[in-house]
Chains A and B, each alone.
Chain A
């Protein structure tokens, strides 16, 4: 059971480039999340999804896009990378058991630097 897998672990982008951060989970969780963690700061919610085909904005969605074509995958797309997007990105997933929200499971993160 791999849990939540994020790729790549590290990436350096030039300003204006684009990339996709991959996230996959093998726990059949319906909820998936993308967060960013800036140095010395907490986690900010970028986007989330409650199931395949359904996504919604979080606190800081500008400059990002997501899609959820399958239960397992929730990629995060950065268009026109900017230095302000330098951060560590975490993907997480959770489910709902007997009507109650379970804890979220996190990937190991992707460290992105935009130069």
Chain B
């Protein structure tokens, strides 16, 4: 069975500070991990993915994520937060041979000016 958890409903960070949005997963097989962002009244936009290779993945808008197999985590990071980064962030997982795609419950990021 596959599952993904985002332990924080809300993350607040000051503008210019580094941000981290947490994600842990459970799969059988090799994981494929994704981060998406959702702005109000919009669909989900793809940020970045881990399929294989380097554990540090770089994506859109200066975001990056680190795949940690031993901790089954895929935390989203950005060195310097912008007010415009305020949005709802979703982690998603599937795995080798799996056809479904499961999402976490989302983390609302608020960047305070």
Contact = CB atoms under 8 A, between A and B. Distances in A.
Interface string A84-99: 0000001010100000
A51 to B, nearest CB: 10
Nearest to A111: B41
B110 interface: no
B51 interface: yes
Given A101-B51, A103-B49, A41 B105 contact: yes
A33 B49 CA distance: 18
Interface residues on A, range: 20 to 34
Interface residues of B, number: 23
Given A103-B34, A106-B44, A42 B100 contact: no
Interface in B69-113: 90, 92, 94, 99-106
A104 B34 contact: yes
B52 A42 contact: no
B23 to A, nearest CB: 12
A36 B76 CA distance: 24
Nearest to B9: A40
Contact of B43 (A58, A102, A108): A108
B97 to A, nearest CB: 10
